[in-house]
Amino acid sequence: MSDKLEFSNNLFTIKDLYLPGMVSIRTHLFDKKFQKIIKDILKINVPNKLEFTFNKNLYLAWMSPNELLLFSKNLNEILKLITIIEDTLKGIESLVLDVSSSRTVFSIKGSLWRELLAKGTPINLCPNKFTSKSFRRTRLGQVSTAFWMVKTDQVYIVCGRSFKEFFFKWLCNAANEKSIIKFF
């Protein structure tokens, strides 16, 4: 596997969360039976559209009306959960897949993260629009991504594994201390 990527300056620390765990759960999210199963196993509610829910290190995010992404920094936690979820969902039309190797997750720490992301995405990142509950799939520059706030001064960003190094360079460039606007 390629090297662990890290960058920091006075404003931002950008880190590749090395080998995180991710599961894609495809089913009809509005199904009450499904919602109960998720609540029972994960102790988390199925999130509303464009949002995520969480329990400690476990995040559950809305990808589309029939897809959730379950994420943990801890790959082993995820690997254990996959079989449980898959087995419990047997009777429900669904597809549960380990996608831990498909994607990578970067953490960006720094209170000005909105400034950094606004260099690449056309979505509205104003605090009243992109809130602590928000999970958005959009582009950053030319790369397809999804991101959410884990703390007021920290975001996690998911991108395809093969784009990892390119995207890391993009992030570092956008983190340029000399190009901060203080718009938000």
Partner 1 sequence: MTSRFSKGGILINRKKKLSFKFNGKNLFGFSGDTLASALLANNQVLIGRSFKYHRPRGFVSSGVEEPNALLSIGSGGSLEPNRSATTLELFDGIEAMSQNHFGSLEWDIGSISNFLSKIFPAGFYYKTFIKPRFAWKHIFEPTIRSAAGLGKAPKEHDLSSYDFFYAHLDVVIVGGGISGLVTAKNLASLGLKILLVEQKHFFGGYALSEEFKINNLDSSEFIKNLEDDLSKNENVILKKNFSIVGVHDHSYLLGLENFEVLESEDHSSIRHRLWRIRTKHLILATGAIERPLVFAGNDIPGVILSSAANEFYKLYGISQGDRVILITNNDSAYSAVVELFNAGISIPLVIDVREKSVGELPLKVKDLGIRVEFGKAITKVLGKKRVKAVEICSIVGEGSVLETIICDSVLMSGGWTSTLNLWSHCGGKIKWDNQLNTLVPDETKQSTNELGQSFISVVGSARGQFWPSELFDNMEKVIKNICEIFNLKKIKYEKYQIKEIIHEKTSPISCVPESADENLKGKSFVDYQNDVKLTDLRIATQEGFESVEHLKRYTTLGMATDQGKLSNINGIKILSHLVGKEINEVGTTTFRPPYTPISLGSIAGEARKELFKPIRKTPMHKWHQENGAIWEPVGDWQRPYTYLRNNETKEEAVYREVKNTRNSLGMLDASTLGKIIVSGNDAGEFLDLIYTNMMSTLKPGRCRYGLMCNENGFLFDDGVVARLNEKTFLCHTTTGGSDRVYSWMEEWHQTEWWDKKVFIQNLTEEYAQITIAGPKARLLLEKLGGLNVESKKFQPLDFIEGKLGNFDVRVFRISFSGELSFEIATPSANGEALWIRCLELGSELGITSYGTEALHIMRAEKGFIMIGDETDGTVIPQDLNLDWAVSKKKKDFIGKRAHERIYMQDPNRKTLVGLSLKDSTQKIPDGAYALKSGGNGAEDVLGHITSTYFSPSLDKPIAMALLKNGKSLKGQEVDIPLGSGNKLRAIVVDPQFYDIEGKRQNV
Partner 2 sequence: MLKFICPICEIETDETELTPGGEAHLKRMGPGSSDQNFYTYLFERKNPRGIHFERWLHSYGCGKWFHVVRCTKTMEVFGTYSAQDTKPPKKILDAIKKKLPNGKNVK
User: Which residues contribute to the site for partner 1 (CB under 8 A)?
Assistant: 1-3, 19, 24, 26-27, 66, 93-95, 97-103, 118-126, 129, 141-143, 160-167, 169-170, 173-174, 176, 178-179, 181, 183
Contact residues: partner 2, CB under 8 A:
49-50, 63-65, 122-124, 136-139, 144
Asked if 134 and 50 touch (Cβ cutoff 8 Å), the reply is yes
Cβ 139 to partner 2 shortest distance, Å = 4
Cβ atoms of 73 and 17 within 8 Å: the answer is: yes
Q: Binding partner of residue 107 among partner 1, partner 2, none, CB under 5 to 8 Å per kind?
A: none
Contacting residues for 151 by C-beta, under 8 A, at least 6 apart: none
Say which entry of partner 2, partner 1, none residue 57 contacts (CB below 5 to 8 A, set by partner kind): none
Q: Which amino acid is at 16?
A: D
Cα gap 15→12, rounded to integer Å: 10
Indicate the residue among 110 and 120 with the shorter CB distance to partner 1.
Answer: 120
Query: Whole-angstrom Cα distance, residue 156 to residue 109?
Result: 9
